[in-house]
Amino acid sequence: MIFTTFAHQDRRQTMNIRQELKNYIYEEIVPQYAAFDSAHREDHALTVIDQAMKLLEAMPEGREEVDAEMLLTAAACHDLGLINGRERHHLDSGAIIRNDAKLRQWFDEARIETIAQAAEDHRASGKSAPRSIYGMIVAEADRVIDGETIIRRTIQFGMNNYPELDRQGHLERAAAHLKEKYGRGGYLKLWIPWSDNAARLAELQDLIADDSRLREAVAESYEKTVKGSAQRDS
């Protein structure tokens, strides 16, 4: 099973972002993800931040009109609402941003509202397009199309939220979710034309369309996840 992969890159030093804000994001916001399910831990927050900054850097025109500090904050805070559960987490993330008094050290009310809306608009199952370029970039960054990562996070989410399922139940749930979200005709939408997600998604869709390859990939990911969990618990 071969997927195009990419490595984390620290972009904290590549944008004109005030040090105090960076400290707040990386020392106080990102660590909150440690309390969430294993598919939404600190590594997920850092991946979304990294991808959002990468998309901004690659923006072919209008980049000067996008505030890197606002984008960083929206990307970092997009899943904070998971503290209250998954169902309304995107809306709860927006509420958390609006109620964060510390953010007012760096942003006025209008900017905070835009950041909150970007967090609210990131969810893949949302019916409407994001309301701003910030929401589009965060949504696209949250849709990092890396096949192995997507399958692993799907398995992790199932193990955290459906502990009553046996091995076969987890494999069937994961395969069904992958088809519903990422398969051809799935509900996942891409918003950034200069992103390389489209090519990655086509690669993943080829795998999903092949039931044999999909079963093999899901089973392989499940075994690795179970083994990793057992090692952490030992």
pLDDT (tens digit, 9 = 90+) per residue, 40-53?
A: 899 999 999 999 99
Confidence at 15, pLDDT banded by 50, 70, 90: low
Q: Dump pLDDT digits (tens) for 152-163.
A: 999 999 999 999
- Of the candidates 113, 131, 14, the one whose C-alpha atom is nearest the C-alpha of residue 73 is 113
- Residues, the chain, total? 234
The reported pLDDT for the residue numbered 135 is 96
Q: Which residue has the higher pLDDT, 93 or 145?
A: 93
pLDDT at 126: 67
Third-level CATH fold of 19-142: Hypothetical protein af1432 (1.10.3210)
| Percentage with pLDDT > 70 across the chain | 90
pLDDT band at 222 (very low <50, low <70, confident <90, very high): very high
| Average confidence (pLDDT) over 180-204 | 92
What is the pLDDT at residue 228? 83
Sort residue 62 into left (φ over 0), alpha (ψ -120 to 50) or beta. left
